[in-house]
Amino acid sequence: MLNAAFSAPSAALPAEAAAGRLDLGALFTESEVPAFLAELDEGLIGLKPVKRRIREIAAHLVIGRARERLGLTSGAPTLHMAFTGNPGTGKTTVALKMAQILHRLGYVRRGHLVSVTRDDLVGQYIGHTAPKTKEILKKAMGGVLFIDEAYYLYRPENERDYGQEAIEILLQVMENQRDDLVVILAGYKDRMDRFFESNPGFRSRIAHHIDFPDYEDVELVEIARTMAQAADYAFAPGAEAALVEYVAKRRAQPNFANARSIRNAFDRMRLRQSLRLFEEGGLADRAALATITEGDVRASRVFAGGIDAPKAPSRPG
Amino acid sequence: MRITQGTFSFLPDLTPAQVKAQIQYALDQGWAVSVEHTDDPHPRNTFWEMWGPPMFDLRDAAGVYGEVEACRSANPGQYVRVNAFDSVRGWETVRLSFIVQRPAQEDGFRLERTEGPGRTQRYGLHHRQYSAG
């Protein structure tokens, strides 16, 4: 039923299939995956290992379709995944794209993403957890269930924690209803590793472990530029140089969250730009409104030694 | 006697795939689907037992169908139906309701005639199981 759109009935097999040959290229093209991968390449900066892994999965799914057409067995592959990586490395963004890719390939029927954390799955008193978890699972049916910071589900220090109950229900559905939904777990690498050690059932039911690397400085600057472009801003030449310095400095400071830090920094630069224009007064033309100058970047506290350093008066952020 | 109430009740019993397709249609219309069961299918009995609250915000029939299956296995000899409620203003009512399980042996009803004052005739439907006749 799930595959109805793709596996043609034997009477309507394409000519190549009848001859026992399939044009993989054509099959790949008609699956709309290439367009998607190109979009992924363009839309996401860096993340090479992740893209490679997604490419592999996509190729595997297309080959699975091809095998089906030629009458080879192709059991529905296990598509549950674990995304590990530091904060701000694009796990949620990729999960969203993943839901779309799997939908285009016909492996999930609806292609929506239900994003949850421990609070949405685990109840507060006895008998509260199972209905809550099942409710979420029902909502995610036909799509992708994204569990952010999945290791919070398991609290070893409290043996009566209800998280264990949620884990058991999850495992059961992940095993028995593999063609109804795909589960993606996400979290920081070390804690996810510990989570999997204490829940071996999870590790074995997840076929794809994808590690999201930290962004390099160049990539972060590129991300800032893309963000600015999307919001109709541009960096002045001096500002871009300052940005490179900013990224290097910010990385060394605590609570660095890769692209998320950059997004926050960009938001603050916009605030500073607005205030500057306001205080300068006079006439502002289109270019002035769209340009972030070196001063806007350099006013950041990061250059003054980070958030722990004493605040410069009247220069927040 | 086969009970005919709700949609599709003059058709043969729906297959699981057909039930899923109907549920999916309801979900695609944005209706909230619920599952109910009863041992008293009298047409005047509008209050069937609810199998959990109505399910809102679902996208795929698999979630509802799981509940249908659970309700069936918990109530093997009973009637089970699926309702789809439309909350759109102006409708605010059940738009689709169909039976998905019947007992193997359906007892049906017997027509009971009662003499009223002035020789008026009153009619009543009585579940065969309960009536001594």
Nearest CA in chain A to B59: A139
User: What is the percent of chain A where pLDDT is above 90?
Assistant: 31
Q: Kindly indicate the confidence band of residue B8, based on its pLDDT and cuts at 50, 70 and 90.
A: very high
Cα gap B107→A67, rounded to integer Å: 51
Asked if B100 and B72 touch (Cβ cutoff 8 Å), the reply is yes
- Looking at residue B104, its amino acid is A
Q: Which residue of A has its CA nearest to B16?
A: A1
Select from A1, A137, A139 the Cβ nearest to the Cβ of B17. A1
Q: What is the pLDDT of residue A184?
A: 94
How far is Cα A257 from Cα A73, in angstroms, rounded to an integer?
A: 44
The answer to whether residue A310 scores a pLDDT higher than 80 is: no
Residue with tokens 């779309």: A100
Angle at A230 between CA A229 and CA A232, to 5 degrees: 60
Cα–Cα–Cα angle for A101, A38, A185, rounded to 5 degrees: 40
Interface-testing mutation among A1, A141, A180, with chain B (most B C-beta atoms within 10 A): A141
Q: Which tens digits make up the pLDDT trace of B28-51?
A: 999 999 999 999 888 888 899 999
pLDDT at A3 over 60: no
A1 touches chain B (CB under 8 A): yes
**Hey, is A144 helix, strand or coil?**
strand
CB-CB under 8 Å, B63 with A139: yes
Give the per-residue pLDDT at A28: 72
Question: Rounded mean pLDDT of A279-301?
Answer: 87
* Contacting residues of B for A181, CB less than 8 Å apart: 62
Task: Check pLDDT > 90 for residue A143.
Answer: yes
Decide if A209 touches B, using CB distance below 8 A: no
pLDDT at A65: 78
Is 60 exceeded by the pLDDT of residue A13? no
Round the CA-based radius of gyration of chain B to a whole number and report it: 17
Tell me how far apart the alpha carbons of residues A16 and A301 are, in angstroms, rounded to a whole number: 64
Mean pLDDT, range A48-70, rounded to an integer: 83
Closest CB from B17, B52, B60 relative to A141: B60
Structure tokens, B67? 């509940």
Give chain B's end-to-end CA distance (angstroms, integer).
16
Q: How far is B58 from chain A (nearest CA, A)?
A: 5
**Mean pLDDT, chain A, as a whole number?**
83
Confidence of residue A287 (pLDDT cuts 50, 70, 90): confident
* pLDDT of res. B92: 94
Each residue's pLDDT tens digit, A111-127: 899 999 999 999 999 99
A180 near B CB under 8 A: yes
Is the pTM higher than 0.90? no
What are A185's two structure tokens? 């777990």
Q: What tokens appear for A199 in the block? A: 């829940």
ipTM of this model?
Answer: 0.80
**Does A311 contact B at CB distance below 8 Å?**
no
Residue B66: closest CA among A230, A191, A10, A137: A137
In angstroms, rounded to a whole number, what is the distance separating the alpha carbons of residues B16 and B4?
A: 19
In this predicted structure, the answer to whether residue A8 has a pLDDT above a threshold of 50 is no
Q: Which 3-state string (H, E, C) describes B25-74?
A: HHHHCCCEEEEEEECCCCCCCCCCEECCCCECCCCCHHHHHHHHHHHHHH
pLDDT of the residue at A159: 78
Per-residue confidence (pLDDT) for residue A39, from 0 to 100 = 80
**A113-116 and A144-148 strand pairing:** parallel
Residue A82 vs residue A27, higher pLDDT: A82
| CB–CB contact B62 A110 (8 Å) | no
Using the predicted structure, report yes or no on whether residue B132 has a pLDDT greater than 80.
no
The answer on pLDDT for A2 being more than 90 is: no
Q: State CA A79 to chain mean position distance.
A: 15
Q: CA of B57: which chain A residue's CA is closest?
A: A139
Smallest CA–CA separation between B97 and chain A, in Å? 20
Q: Which residue has the higher pLDDT, B4 or A35?
A: B4
Please name which of A177, A176, A59, A199 lies closest in space to residue A185, comparing C-alpha atoms.
A199
Chain A interface test: which of B20, B27, B59 (most A C-beta within 10 Å): B59
User: Cα separation of A220 and A258, whole Å?
Assistant: 7
DSSP state of A234: E
A236/A228 Cα distance (integer angstroms): 11
What pLDDT shows up at residue A316? 45
Q: How far is CA A207 from CA A37, A114, A145, A174, A247, in A?
A: 21, 20, 15, 11, 35
Q: What is the pLDDT of residues A193-234, one digit of tens each?
A: 999 988 888 888 888 889 999 999 899 999 999 889 999 999
pLDDT tens digits along B76-118: 999 999 999 999 999 999 999 999 999 988 888 889 999 999 9
Residues 6 or more apart in contact with residue B34 via CB below 8 angstroms: B50, B51, B52, B53, B54, B55, B82, B83, B84, B85
- Edge-to-edge strands, sheet with B49-50: B49-50, B32-38, B79-86, B93-101
Helix axes B61-74, A129-140, angle to 10 degrees: 130
Taking contacts as CB-CB distances below 8 angstroms, the residues of chain B near A110 are 59-60
Q: Which helix (H) or strand (E) holds A116?
A: strand A113-116
Chain A residues close to B67, C-beta within 8 Å: 138
Q: Residue B126 — very low, low, confident or very high, per pLDDT cuts 50/70/90? A: confident
Question: What's the DSSP call for residue B131?
Answer: S
| pLDDT at A280 exceeding the cut of 90 | no
Please name the residue of chain B whose CA is at the shortest distance from the CA of residue A181: B62
The pLDDT of residue A16:
52
CB contact under 8 A, B64 and A1: no
Mean pLDDT (chain B, rounded)? 91
